[in-house]
Structure 1
């Protein structure tokens, strides 16, 4: 690995900070949605707001060189009039300064789903005025932190945010409306371009990108029908973000498909295309958890069913998009998590190579990890399954770099256990355990110590394991042949 490769971990403001109503923070749409529906919430979460110094010290001791975190819009601007909150602004200065003091490079996500409720009440991302408010918010962040922060991401996972909130309906605002999904998606990508435009106009000495929930597309066979379904699925899952952010506009066949599916595109304004074309990102962040296996559409209505509980049993997720494609979840001889997420490390290698060959821009793997039920009350937390998962995925990244891809950093999701949206706090991802029942006490897991070796050796422990396995298997093959 190159010496400047960035090893780190990631969190998001709502998922870890807590302090939901402290020091001038105003409610987000998630606060309102979870409170009104009496669901487990992030009021306290991992209590990062009060314990960030402890957490950054743990990152430093682990050897991490970068930390991806998001800023809560609700802590920075408190109302439609643009009133700034000095305590919120100071908090993130303190976090950034603590990172820099520890030799940790911040990668700041500007928006990680926690839209201020005062904007949601006016339509959220269905309202083009939200774009103006978002750019004003970016302007504040760039002015405050731009001299210190060199890596910025405009959005975390526009696809997951928009589809969950406006199409699947399992996240706020809880809609199931294809027309509104397309409109919200368009407005978020236009906001992305406007933020890039602003950042580049300031001539700051950094880079700005977008973070995407990446699902490399595979087909069940190589028939023409499957290949067309794969193309439609790629537009649905990936291209409307990556093509638009990197190449400068939405795929034309996607716009045609939307129109033929009954979506009105009257939210597109004549001058928008020039904004997209002139303001493309410097890098992409790819969040990888699983590939997407596609079959041709077989009939029936659209089905959008996602397992958010991890308790309903594996195989409860089902996605069918009428006249587009079907996603296959029950692949034989394949391991899945309790949340129907396939474990397929080779998909990360394939996906990186697909993305780099197509776009030729720097890549950061901005999230990768595995969520599971864990008993953190034990004296030692032996999450060997996580070590195996991370090791195989890091190996996939290292192979992609060897084969020419420009991958510059890797972020484990997540730094510590946190609130996992509708999955609550039982779904744990952290390298560090958080005892939510006992004052959010921290405890290093086995994976923390393992990742410490990865960071300190710049990935050499992964290389060593691969060489050992290759040599061992070669000897086994020889013995098997009786040689």
Structure 2
């Protein structure tokens, strides 16, 4: 087995999904707070209560052999209003987390934005408002100025494709819009904001590296026909290229822009902004991998997005059609799927890593990889052999890509502990550590936690 001495083995969370304390210490309302409260849906008001358990959680990471912790900062906890007033209590909280990481020998791997836009900006139009791009850059600058001595690995955005398309195209996430033109504008503004954040990082002369994290789904076709290859290119532009090409090369795919400009006004993409995007590319790419995208050529029907957030009666209900572009095959009879219609396909990780390595030549981190399941956490220890099998197969696929030259620097299991999973609520459990949400948020390591610890400590010898 290869030498993994400097490899970052870790796990990951996100601020809204784990912190709780949604209105403590002068934190202001996020768009998710507002939406979930207004709709009366299960929310992250308390979540895993990481706000009060972070010392225990980070200690468990250390005891679990982990060397890095990927987490996100909360914009509503740091900046109080549109005028940019700083919440010193919010800064103090993250200083405590960072100090705790360093005391336990854990490398912080920090995301600046993981979906929790302050509601005061959402009320102005959110990512449809160009002013929010500048506000993000100022927020990022506050983070750099205050935490630069304690953070060496920065991420501007987590999964632009997922939150933009869910919020503005599919409409199952706030702001719950279904409008292609608004999706394009929001997507552009997010990538422009990312470049502005990188610009602040470069101009500040801060040590370390800065990247972006993408919800990566490598694209496969059902056959080798030319029609299928065309559908695959459309799907790759939709799923991957507008984030990865833009972040790594500073260039939005020209065929995508050409196609969109036939039907939509994209004149708001200004030359001076495109120049900033071109000049401020990332140092590394973070890839969140759960599954691939299998497509066939478009046959008929209107654009349709059905997402299974239930994990129950909705199993097998997911459906994706992009009119004149592609149809996603959601139910391959040769594959295994979770209750949430996620295909389990480790080979996609290997193939995708090699593709990204060959295309961009940048260091890669697998910033999320895991499986969500229903679990009874009242037992002494959750016997999650399915998670161990999932992780083993995907880590093996990662190693195979590394042996073929992919420059992979780290692997982060999703998630460090059970947390709130957006519209899936708390029943969909990803954690290496169980959290009993009904009994004081008690933490109990699962079998996978021990397996991951032993795998790390043995230099992956137990994968043979």
| TM superposition score normalised by structure 2 | 0.99
Distance in 1 of aligned mates of 2:84 and 2:381: 48
Deviation at 1:2, TM superposition (A): 2.8
Once the two structures are superposed, what CA deviation does each residue of 1:4-36 show, in whole Å capped at 9, x if it has no partner? 001000000000000000000000000000000
Aligned pairs for 1:390-405 (under 5 A) are 390-405=391-406
CA RMSD between the two structures: 0.7
Number of the residue aligned with 2:450: 449
Q: Does 1:177 align with 2:179?
A: yes
Number of the residue aligned with 1:242: 244
Distance in 2 of aligned mates of 1:102 and 1:197: 32
Aligned pairs for 1:44-63 (under 5 A) are 44-63=46-65
Distance in 2 of aligned mates of 1:114 and 1:388: 32
Distance in 2 of aligned mates of 1:101 and 1:458: 23
Number of the residue aligned with 1:468: none
Deviation at 1:174, TM superposition (A): 0.2
Q: Does 1:461 align with 2:450?
A: no
Q: Does 1:270 align with 2:283?
A: no
Distance in 1 of aligned mates of 2:8 and 2:381: 28
- Of residues 10, 16, 36, the one that matches 1:14 is 16
Number of the residue aligned with 2:229: 227
Once the two structures are superposed, what CA deviation does each residue of 1:379-406 show, in whole Å capped at 9, x if it has no partner? 1210000000000000011111111100
Deviation at 1:272, TM superposition (A): 1.5
* Runs of 4+ with >3 A deviation: none
Number of the residue aligned with 2:292: 291
- Of residues 143, 149, 152, the one that matches 1:150 is 152
Distance in 2 of aligned mates of 1:23 and 1:317: 40
Distance in 2 of aligned mates of 1:362 and 1:451: 23
Partner SS, residue 338 of structure 2? coil
Structure 2, unmatched stretches of 5+, are none
Number of the residue aligned with 2:375: 374
Partner SS, residue 365 of structure 1? strand
Number of the residue aligned with 1:161: 163
Deviation at 1:436, TM superposition (A): 0.2
| TM superposition score normalised by structure 1 | 0.95
Number of the residue aligned with 1:471: none
Number of the residue aligned with 2:104: 102
Deviation at 1:74, TM superposition (A): 0.6
Distance in 1 of aligned mates of 2:20 and 2:284: 30
The count of residues paired between Structure 1 and Structure 2 equals 462
Number of the residue aligned with 1:335: 336
Deviation at 1:458, TM superposition (A): 2.5
Number of the residue aligned with 1:4: 6
Once the two structures are superposed, what CA deviation does each residue of 1:274-322 show, in whole Å capped at 9, x if it has no partner? 1111110000000000000011111111001000110123210000001
Partner SS, residue 287 of structure 1? strand
Number of the residue aligned with 1:360: 361
Number of the residue aligned with 1:314: 315
Once the two structures are superposed, what CA deviation does each residue of 1:55-84 show, in whole Å capped at 9, x if it has no partner? 000000001000000000011001111111
Distance in 1 of aligned mates of 2:461 and 2:24: 44
Once the two structures are superposed, what CA deviation does each residue of 1:186-233 show, in whole Å capped at 9, x if it has no partner? 000001111111111122220000000000000001111000000010
Decide which moves more: 311-320 or 370-379.
311-320
Q: Does 1:122 align with 2:124?
A: yes
Q: Does 1:349 align with 2:344?
A: no
Distance in 2 of aligned mates of 1:122 and 1:215: 32
Number of the residue aligned with 1:481: none
Partner SS, residue 404 of structure 1? coil
Distance in 2 of aligned mates of 1:264 and 1:70: 34
Number of the residue aligned with 2:85: 83
Distance in 2 of aligned mates of 1:51 and 1:2: 30
Distance in 2 of aligned mates of 1:313 and 1:247: 39
